[in-house]
Structure 1
C-alpha cells in the first residue's frame, strides 16, 4: 500500500492550464502531418466532423485514449486518440454519432484501442437509436498489433450487421480503404466517395499485377468513378469533400433516426392538389419513343427536388428519395432513356436494395412503370437474371410500407408483375390513359397467337397489321386492367401528384402483421 502511495506522489499533477494545452495540441495535431494531409487535397478528421455536424454541436468521446501495445517501437509512440476521433453531435438539430479516422496518426490504421473506440461509439448509436456516420481515411489494420487489429475489424462488422435496418449507417470514403476494412462500408446503407482522393479495393494494384499481370492505378482499380459506375459499391461520388459532406447532411434530413420512427416531415411549398400540366407533354404517347423519366419525377415531387441513389450505376432504373406534400417517399422508376427502361441484373439489384432500405426505415414507395420486359440475352441468363430478378420481386413482396404504383405507358410480361403490381401487394395502382398492360407487346402477341393465320393469308403483312390492331383494341386498351380490378383508377397525367398525396395520406397508418419467423431467405 505504501509503495502505491509513493508512486502516486511522483505522478505530476494535471491542472486546468495543462488540460487546456493538451486539448489544444489534440485539435492542432502534428503540423508536419497536417501539411502532408493538405498536400493530398484532404481535410483533417476534425475539419471533416465540423463540416458534417451543426456548428459547435460535437462532443468528443475518449480523446485521451492511447494504445497499450509494445514492440516495434510502439511503446515510444503513443499519441492521444490513437488515430480515430469519435463522438456525437447534431445534423439539422437531430443527434448523429460519428467516427473519423485521422490519417495523420499511424496512417489512420486500426489497432486495438482504435477499434475499441469505434465499438463504443457504434454501441452508443444503436442504444440511442440515432444514425451513425463513419468518415473513412485509413490504411487498414495496424500491422504492428497483429491479430488484435484483425479482431477489431470483426467487432465492427458484427456491429454493422446488428445495426442494419435499425439505425441508418452511412460510410463516407475520404481516403484509402483496402483489404478487410472495405467490408464495413459494404455492410452499411449508403457509401459516399470523393474523386481522386478515395479508393476501395480488397487487393491493391501491386497484388493484382503480381497475381494476374494486369497493371492498373489505384483510382482505376477502386476509385470513386469505378465504384459509382461499374461496381455499384458507391451510391454517391463527388468532386470535393465539402460537397460530399453537405450531401450527407441532405441525406440525413430525409432519413428517420431509427426504424421505430418516421422520416422527418417538412412544410411543402406547393398545395397538395397542384396540377402537373407539364406531364401531358413530357411522356410521348408512342411507346417506342424514349424520354427522361427524371423530368417526370421532378414534376411530381415537392419543389422538383430529390436525391438520386446510384445515379450512374444501372441507369435503366431510377431510385430516389424526395418529398410529397412534405412527407419523404422513395421513388422507383424505369428510365426509357437507358436500355428502353428494361430490367436487367444490375437494375434488379439496385432497386431491390433501395426498396429494402425504404421498408426498413418506414419510407413509403412510389413506383413509376414504363417497362417493356426483362433484357434478353445469353449474358443475362448465364449471369443469373432469374435469381437477380427474384431479388426485386422478393423486396417488393416483403415490403410493409405504403406502396403506390403508377403505370405511365407500357408494362409487359413478368417485368410488370415484378414492378410492384397489385398482385404482389401494391396498395394502390393507378394508370395513365396511355397505359398498355399485357403479357407482351401487341406485335409479338399477334405473331404468336395468329402465326398460322398470318402465314396462310394472301397478304401476310396486311393481315398481321389488322390482327395487331384487333389484339390491341381487345386486350390492351387503357381500361382493360381497370375493368378487372387490377388498376384502381385511370387518371389524367396532370392529376398524378394529387392522387399520390391523397393515397399516401390514406395509407399513413398502414399496419401489416408478418408471419412469425427469424428472417426470410431471400435469393442471393
Structure 2
C-alpha cells in the first residue's frame, strides 16, 4: 500500500507555507516597500543554501475524512543558510500574518532559534518585524477564551538561551519594521543591531499604549525611529534600504569566527602593504594644543585600506569603536574623537567602550587603542550621569580582558580614565605629540597656581603665561628614556609597527583559544 496520500499532504502543507499570509498580504508588504521574510532570507543567503527548520509547523484544518482543507503556517521562518560560504542560523517573523505577533507555532520556532544556533555553534541572524504578544493571547476570537502565552512554571526561561547564545556565537539583529515586546528585547540582546531609516522602529510599547499610560502623543518614528536609537545606543547602525542592510550584516560577520572556539578568519585578498607609511601622519596632530584633528583619518591610514567598519557612531560620540583589519587579520579599533568633549570619557562613551571591549574579548579580536584621553568628563551633568561608575566599569572590562592590546598614545593620557585604554600587558607606543599626567595642563595650572593667578593684575594673562611656560618644558622623550612606554615612534610608522606587533601577538592568542577548546 502506497504512502502517496500522506506525501501529497506534505506537499500541500509545504506549498501553503511558502505562500506565507497569502497573496494579498504579500502585496501589502511590498506596497510598503518591504520584503517578506522569505525574500529577506534569500537576499542575505548564498543561492539555494537555505534549509528550513519546521517548515510544516502551523495549524491544519481537516474535513471529516481527514483531508486537508486549509493550512496556516507558523509565522516565524527559521533555518540554516550559508552567508559568503559560511553556515549560519537565520530566522524572522512573518509580518504577513498577524503583523508578526506570534502564533503558537511561530513562538515555539522563534524560541528554538537560539537553541539551534547553540547546538551547531553557528552565528545567529534575526530579522525582526513584529509587535510581540497580543492582548488576547493566542485565542480570544468570538466566544473563545484567551489562551495565555506565558511559560509553564517548570520550564526554562526563554531568556536563558538568549543569554547563552551571546556568550558563544555572533548574534546579529535587524529591525525591518516596527519592533516591540520580545522582538525588541531580542534586538537589544545582540552583538550588532541595525535598522532601516524611516521603515524601522524599536519600541518598548507602541504609541497607543504610551498615550494610554503617559498621555504622550507620539508617532512610532518619534518614539523609536533611527534618529532616537542611534543616539540612545539601542541600535549600532542604520541604513537607507534593506539591500544596504544585507551588505552591512555580511560585512560585520566577515570579521568574526563562527563561534568562540574558533579564531577570526583572515581576509582572502590581502593587497595592502604592511609597510605602507602615509606621509600626512607626520603633521596630523596640530602643535596648537587646543586645535582638533580627524581621528578617523588616522584610523583609515593605519588599518588595511577600506577595512574600517564603524559601529555605534552616534552614541557616546567622544569614543570611536569599530572593526578593521591589519595585514588581513581582524582587530577591534577603539579611539577618542576630539571633536566631542575633547575626547573625554562620558557616561555614554564609557558604556559604549565597555560593551565593545567585552565583545572583542568574546570573539578573540586583538584591540588597537588610539589614545587621546583628557580624562572623565567633568561638571554637574557628568556627575548626575554617574560617569565615574560607568568609567570604572570600563576600566574593569579592560583589565579583565584576555586579548592582546596595542595602545598608541597620539596626544593626551590624563587622569583615571586613561587606565581604560591599556589592557593587561599592553604594548604601548607613543607619538612625539603624546602628553601624560594626572591632570591636563589647563586644569593642573588652575589648581597648583591658584593664588599666584588670583594675585596677578591680569589673572587670565598670568594663567596663559604659566601654561605656555610649562608646556614648553614638555618633551616627548622622557617617558621613552624612563621605559614608561615600549617605544616612541614616527607617526608614519604606526601601521608597520602594529602589523609587526600583531604577527607576534596573534599566534599566542591562537594557542590560548585552541588550548581552551581542547581543555573543554
Q: TM-score, normalised by structure 2?
A: 0.88
Q: Distance in 2 between matches of 1:443 and 1:174?
A: 48
Q: Identify the residue that residue 78 of structure 2 maps to in structure 1.
A: 86
Q: Distance in 2 between matches of 1:168 and 1:350?
A: 18
Q: Identify the residue that residue 253 of structure 2 maps to in structure 1.
A: 252
Q: Identify the residue that residue 5 of structure 1 maps to in structure 2.
A: none
Map of 1:58-73 to 2, 5 A cutoff? 58-67=50-59
Q: Identify the residue that residue 64 of structure 2 maps to in structure 1.
A: none
Q: Note closer, same or farther for the CA distance 1:88–1:376 as it changes in structure 2 (3 Å cut).
A: same
1:480 is aligned, of 465, 478, 491, to: 478
Q: Distance in 2 between matches of 1:182 and 1:338?
A: 30
Q: Distance in 1 between matches of 2:382 and 2:215?
A: 28
1:129 is aligned, of 114, 121, 129, to: 121
Instruction: Find the residue that maps to 2:183 and give its secondary structure.
Output: helix
CA distances 1:503-523 after superposition (whole Å, capped 9, x unpaired): 111111336999xxxxxxxxx
Shift of 1:53: 0.9
CA distances 1:181-238 after superposition (whole Å, capped 9, x unpaired): 3212212211111122221111221222223222110011011221112x11001111
CA distances 1:442-485 after superposition (whole Å, capped 9, x unpaired): 343234334445556788777655643553455x4212222333
2:132 is aligned, of 125, 140, 148, to: 140
Q: Note closer, same or farther for the CA distance 1:340–1:393 as it changes in structure 2 (3 Å cut).
A: same
Map of 1:322-341 to 2, 5 A cutoff? 322-341=324-343
Map of 1:451-462 to 2, 5 A cutoff? 451-453=450-452
Q: Note closer, same or farther for the CA distance 1:203–1:485 as it changes in structure 2 (3 Å cut).
A: same
Q: Distance in 1 between matches of 2:60 and 2:137?
A: 12
Q: Distance in 2 between matches of 1:108 and 1:454?
A: 67
CA distances 1:260-300 after superposition (whole Å, capped 9, x unpaired): 11111013211211112221233323221112211111111
RMSD: 2.8
Q: Identify the residue that residue 521 of structure 1 maps to in structure 2.
A: none
Map of 1:413-424 to 2, 5 A cutoff? 413-420=415-422
Q: Identify the residue that residue 112 of structure 2 maps to in structure 1.
A: 120
CA distances 1:157-187 after superposition (whole Å, capped 9, x unpaired): 2211011221011111112221343212212
Shift of 1:371: 2.0
Shift of 1:412: 1.6
* Alignment check: 8 A CA contact 1:349 1:389 kept: yes
Q: Note closer, same or farther for the CA distance 1:171–1:78 as it changes in structure 2 (3 Å cut).
A: farther
Q: Identify the residue that residue 218 of structure 2 maps to in structure 1.
A: 216
Q: Distance in 2 between matches of 1:442 and 1:108?
A: 57
Shift of 1:123: 1.5
Structure 2 spans left out of the alignment, 5+ residues: 62-67, 139-145, 514-520
* Alignment check: 8 A CA contact 1:276 1:496 kept: no
Q: Does residue 349 of structure 1 match 2:348?
A: no
Q: Tell me whether 274-283 or 166-175 shows the greater mean CA deviation.
A: 274-283
* Alignment check: 8 A CA contact 1:316 1:341 kept: yes
Map of 1:194-205 to 2, 5 A cutoff? 194-205=196-207
Q: Note closer, same or farther for the CA distance 1:154–1:337 as it changes in structure 2 (3 Å cut).
A: farther
CA distances 1:247-269 after superposition (whole Å, capped 9, x unpaired): 10111111110111111101321
Structure 1 spans left out of the alignment, 5+ residues: 1-7, 70-75, 515-524
Map of 1:43-62 to 2, 5 A cutoff? 43-62=35-54
